[in-house]
Structure 1
Amino acid sequence: MIGAVTRDEITEEIVLARLSKGLTWQQLADAIGRPVVWTTSALLGQHPIPPEQGKVLVEMLGLDPTVVPVLAAVPMRGGLPTAVPTDPTIYRFYEALQVYGPALKELIHEQFGDGIMSAINFSVDIAKKSHPAGDRVVVTFDGKFLPYDWTAAVD
């Protein structure tokens, strides 16, 4: 690589290198001992990758080692190209939260109190489950409950 490259350009290189080398996201995750969803998200630019793990991934993917510090930098998280996702897979998550989000919010408040589920102290997992009507996608969000602390606002 010559000159500075953007995180988006590195992400594109990662995707192309993974495909050309026939590597799975799981193989990359196993190589650094991290969960597959986290590793995939990190390689797609959503989490900083510690330099030692970045070096392993860069070597596996055959990328220039100069990208390791960029991979280790805190990224700009979130942000899809459109306000409403247009990719069908991502849109279904959006749709599911539109339909079930208010119910989940009510149940969180009923069972835990006034607060939110953390997306920082958080893990996510995906699994495939066999079903007679067709394989099922099982997504598990595991976030710490963070109660609102209204007394701190008064001090």
Structure 2
Amino acid sequence: MLTKQEAAAAVRAAKARLGVSWAQLGEAVGRPVAWTTAALLGQHPMSEPEARAAADVLELGDDVVQALLLQPTRGALGAAVPVDPTMYRFYEVLQVYGPTIKELIHEKFGDGIMSAINFRLDVQRVPDPAGDRVVVTLDGKFLPYQW
């Protein structure tokens, strides 16, 4: 049986070989593109119809389908501090703005957190005369602490 990481590698290889986009896979699976991408990279379990739809588009076998059904170990990047420049910049953003985000959430909502379970993510490219902008929207439900 393949691991989720091995299945993710097979997905990425097939995606590149076939020229399929993450958006096309999201459409085939019937889920948002960010959720589908995370699932195919091993961060969410998929239902059998979802896994089968992705595997069909990517011309992958039952071994990949079975791996996509497994429960993941979420957040498993392999290193405490990501070294990939794109991921590291998010780490850097949280180092600089994390305390500010926390303060603003507490000021606007009270004592609690933003859920990463009840969560939506969107990535957009926005044209700008000084160079295109990356707009990342993190949309999580507020969960108050209960004492």
Interval of TM-score (by shorter of Structure 1 and Structure 2): over 0.9
Give the gaps of 5 or more residues in structure 1.
151-155
1:53 Cα deviation after fit: 1.1
Equivalent AA in structure 1 for residue 20 of structure 2:
L
Give the gaps of 5 or more residues in structure 2.
none
1:114 Cα deviation after fit: 0.3
What is the aligned partner in structure 1 of residue 98 from structure 2? 101
Q: Residue 118 of structure 1: SS of its match in structure 2? A: strand
Equivalent AA in structure 2 for residue 35 of structure 1:
P
Equivalent AA in structure 2 for residue 89 of structure 1:
T
What is the aligned partner in structure 2 of residue 12 from structure 1? 9
Q: Residue 120 of structure 1: SS of its match in structure 2? A: strand
Q: Is 1:59–1:65's contact at 8 Å kept on the other side of the alignment?
A: no
What is the aligned partner in structure 2 of residue 143 from structure 1? 140
The separation in 1 between residues aligned to 2:118 and 2:2, in whole angstroms, is: 30
> Identity rate of aligned residues, in percent?
56
The separation in 2 between residues aligned to 1:32 and 1:10, in whole angstroms, is: 16
Q: Is 2:2–2:63's contact at 8 Å kept on the other side of the alignment?
A: no
Normalised TM-score (structure 1): 0.92
Alignment map for 1:5-154 (pairs within 5 Å): 5-150=2-147
Q: Residue 117 of structure 2: SS of its match in structure 1? A: strand
Q: Is 1:124–1:139's contact at 8 Å kept on the other side of the alignment?
A: yes
Task: Considering Cα pairs closer than 8 Å and 6+ residues apart, tell me whether 1 or 2 has the greater RCO.
Answer: 2
- Structure 1: which 4+ aligned runs deviate by more than 6 Å? none
Equivalent AA in structure 2 for residue 11 of structure 1:
A
The CA deviation string for residues 82-109 of structure 1, in whole angstroms up to 9 with x for no partner, is: 1111000000000001111100000000
- Aligned pairs, number: 147
Q: Is 2:4–2:70's contact at 8 Å kept on the other side of the alignment?
A: no
Work out which of the two has the higher radius of gyration on C-alpha atoms and give 1 or 2. 1
Equivalent AA in structure 1 for residue 39 of structure 2:
A
